[in-house]
Amino acid sequence: MPEPMSESFPPAFLWGSATSAYQIEGAVREGGRTPSIWDTFSHQPGRTAGGDHGDTAVDHYHRYRDDVALMARLGLNAYRFSVSWPRVRPTGRGPAAQAGLDFYRRLVDELLSHGIKPAVTLYHWDLPQELEDAGGWPERDTALRFAEYAQLVGEALGDRVEQWITLNEPWCSAFLGYGSGVHAPGRTEPSAALRAAHHLNLGHGLATQALRSVLPAHRSIAVSLNSQVIRPLSQNPADLDAARRIDDLANGVFHGPLLKGAYPATLLEATSSVTDWSFVREGDLTDIRQPLDALGLNYYTPALVSSAENAPRGPRADGHGASAHSPWPGSDDVAFHQTPGDRTEMGWTIDPTGLYELIMRYSREAPGLALYVTENGAAYDDKPDPDGRVHDPERIAYLRAHLAEVRHAIADGADVRGYYLWSLMDNFEWAYGYGKRFGAVYVDYSSLERTPKSSAHWYARAARTGQLPPVDAV
């Protein structure tokens, strides 16, 4: 049973929020920045809702000081942001752009001056377009270029940043970008998706080595996985097999090589009709399995699967966007089902128990690694009231229920050291454009004015006290 609601979080627990560069920065042509795959993708007709793009986003590039001051007023003691690869190393190759690095130096200094611990994510999906033109993540060279970029950022910020994350949600980069095509670069090639997954793993390993070569001692290096909670529709052997196969594609394809130095044999067998995996070279798995200090877990909703034989034919209900092409190579005989329960504006079922399940799984599979919830949050149709205030009780209930499961996991022995709410503020939500609001801070997209929602004030109280206030506390 969960611990009583009055139980406090550990005193050193990090109460943070998270964002990513392309979703908030804007200023896509300033300081020598060159296009990323998301610049290209979002300007292609029909790729994003309403044709939205991140050219301006919420203009964090110019408003970062005000945004950091807002974080401080909300009592956050940690902030996870991503560095834009094409802002720091235009075209993905060559020397660093000092104007780009200087922006992140200023941002880090501003955070530290307000007592907020920065956590740097090196890759949150904005691959330089020139590297995609050369083949993108399905090509080995991209992993090599990523390691060089990681070293440049490590040299620039390593004296001030303690927490480092190589990749955010490599599953999305590989399987939504190169499999279903609902994310940039919009390719629909199952074999390329698996090659991309391997080279993202390799990029992580090489970048980890590069960071260790330049960072001071006692810096924390992690990766953030959107490891998924996969549940079978029934205990029928065919449904159990379907769940295991999807678990291999959602989780094992990354945590296998990252944590154990091998891809699951069942994954290799199930995808043998798609690829022979000959792109895995001798020494790759050793390079990938680098010692880590922490593991980031991103969680939103569980998945429910069965054998296609046990399900009527219909749209694929995996929560990852509509596409005629599957992000699950070699799994056309697996059906996805809507899980029961209330849903967010994304159509994702609200199930906090999945977060507890995920934490405890990795507490067992990665003993000795500190765990962080590096993303968790919900989109709702938030609107200001006549007085300009934004009340979002649904989000408060969502956050309270999920944080209670984090505390439950800590009580059961999991070494969870922080929680990063997704997201600090409303922003460009990838293919959904500006139509889905995940922020604790409301952004008026015409004026770019920021207004903390009720959930921001609730979360500030939780951060200040280390306890979970009642839902109606604000």
Question: Could you report the per-residue pLDDT of 321-334, keeping only the tens digit for each?
Answer: 999 999 999 999 99
Alpha carbons within 13 A on the beta-carbon side of 336: 21
**Cβ neighbours of residue 119 under 8 Å, at least 6 residues apart?**
16, 78, 79, 80, 81, 161, 163, 164, 165, 374, 420
What pLDDT shows up at residue 314?
67
Using CA atoms of 51, 55, 59, 64 in order, give the dihedral in degrees to the nearest 10. Answer: 130
Beta bridge partners of 164: 120, 221
Tell me which residue has tokens 């503020």. 425
What pLDDT shows up at residue 7?
78
Grade residue 416 by pLDDT with cuts at 50, 70 and 90: very high
**pLDDT (tens digit per residue) in 246-280:** 999 999 999 999 999 999 999 999 999 999 999 99
Helices (H) and strands (E) in the chain, counts: 16, 13
Mean pLDDT check: name the lowest of 201-210, 314-323, 327-336, 416-425: 314-323
Classify the C-alpha dihedral 198-204-206-207 as positive or negative: positive
Residues with catalytic roles: 169, 375
Tell me which residue has tokens 């296009």. 35
Q: Does 88 or 318 have the greater pLDDT score?
A: 88
**Rounded distance between C-alpha atoms, residue 301 and residue 402, angstroms:** 11
Q: Give me the chain's average pLDDT, please.
A: 96
217 burial via Cβ count (<10 Å: 0-12, 13-18, 19+): exposed
Q: What letter would DSSP give residue 349? A: B
pTM for this predicted structure = 0.97
Q: Is residue 160 scored above 50 in pLDDT?
A: yes
Structure tokens at 299: 């969680």
